A and B are shown apart, each in its own frame.
Chain A
């Protein structure tokens, strides 16, 4: 069970990084912080999804929560608005 959730956590981290890159491309910001924030957000959202909805729905839950979070970060948090 532990290895199962380890694999899933790894998947969420990777997914978050890809979503970070996607939001960076969508907003025109090249900040590497988005990539890191994406990984962290996706991991936390994934675990929140497991707790709230159950494992099968945790990944799609993490997907939209991470995208929303990244968008808000890129839009409103000054540290993420820098183009570097």
Chain B
């Protein structure tokens, strides 16, 4: 009799589990999360996802935008279910550099696609050259519209997931009047909010938050990318080349004499980027040329905040050495002030946007569960 009750209880539990994971939106989102979290954390696709996931195909495409070509990598499930609501889209915008063949990005895109979502990863020549341009907003809009027109989506809304330097582009695109009503959600992972405060963090080599000051040393690549954003605004070709070379990874820092030979504007940019003179940060900022100031203003996601309609999900590594975590905190505070739907998650198991190899089990359990909860919420809110 006891065995029968136990079997009935188990059968009922399995029945409810199957019902909720296949038909109820929250359950479906939770099932997708169960597939995705191990793939995201382990940077490989677990066997259950490979067996129970969709077979997918990879298509490359190039489209034209106002700023030039945009390179698209599509990961599309090959079967088409009867339920039109099961296929939705995600536009991935990776950071600066050429990530088109990066195993982590390919794995992430493929894993999402295997859960039945049409995934499009995009990049532009500017991003590939490790810089960011406001002009690439059109490329994001065009890519989003190309994704939305896919026959598999049948007019469903799509979300945008951006990493690092892709975050400002995701915000500019999501705020654009042409697509802002179609964007289901925006996920900003390890990005920045305000170029001015980011530049100050680079200049001071420290972060100020909650009344505390914490030393902060950015990685050389981050310095290079910020340099690529600001240096082109200098008038002199020679100075642009000098600064570009001086900021390359492993380059010898400019000597005091070389620094003195530069114009005050170029010297200010160099000192801010390299953190060479924390006590002159405000003075250096004050003498930046109007073109540089304009560029800094234009590249701040803060600028388009009032135009954003989609819920924003922010994730940032607490010990990020590429972009300060305080940027995402500021982003969250600004969204909160505007009563804009958002969520902010601070994690410890990442190194900027990649999983650290040396995280502890406790950190994994803590971050894994909060990430899983956030991902379920994102997938559910996006109707995925």
A interface list, Cβ under 8 A from B: 1, 4, 7-8, 11, 19, 22-23, 25-28, 49-65, 67-68, 71
Contact = CB atoms under 8 A, between A and B. Distances in A.
Contact of B81 (A27, A50, A62): A50
B22 A60 contact: yes
Nearest to A11: B51
B83 A56 contact: no
A64 B11 CA distance: 9
A18 to B, nearest CB: 10
A61 B21 CA distance: 8
Interface stretch (B1-9, B122-130, B238-246): B1-9
Given A25-B3, A60-B18, 19 more contacts: A1-B78, A4-B55, A8-B51, A22-B11, A23-B11, A26-B8, A26-B11, A27-B4, A50-B81, A55-B52, A55-B77, A56-B54, A56-B116, A58-B22, A59-B52, A61-B23, A64-B22, A67-B11, A71-B11
Interface size class of B (residues with CB under 8 A): 35 or more
Contact of B7 (A25, A58, A61, A65): A25
B267 interface: no
Contacts, number: 104
B35 interface: yes
Given A22-B7, A26-B11, A64 B54 contact: no
B53 interface: yes
28 contacts: A1-B55, A4-B51, A7-B51, A8-B52, A22-B7, A22-B11, A22-B14, A23-B11, A26-B7, A52-B83, A53-B22, A53-B83, A54-B79, A54-B83, A56-B31, A56-B52, A56-B115, A57-B21, A57-B86, A58-B22, A59-B52, A60-B19, A60-B21, A60-B31, A64-B14, A64-B15, A67-B11, A67-B14
Nearest to A3: B55
Chain B interface SS verdict (over half)? helix
A64 B19 contact: yes
A56 B51 contact: no
Q: Which of B14, B28, B115 has the most CB of A within 10 A?
A: B14
A67 B15 contact: yes
Contacts of B116: 54-57
B329 interface: no
A62 B51 contact: no
B10 A56 contact: no
Chain A to chain B: the 3 pairs with minimum beta-carbon distance, closest first: A63-B18, A64-B18, A60-B21
B380 to A, nearest CB: 14
A43 to B, nearest CB: 15
Nearest to A21: B7
Contacts of B82: 51-53
B31 A55 contact: no
B81 A51 contact: yes
B18 A62 contact: yes
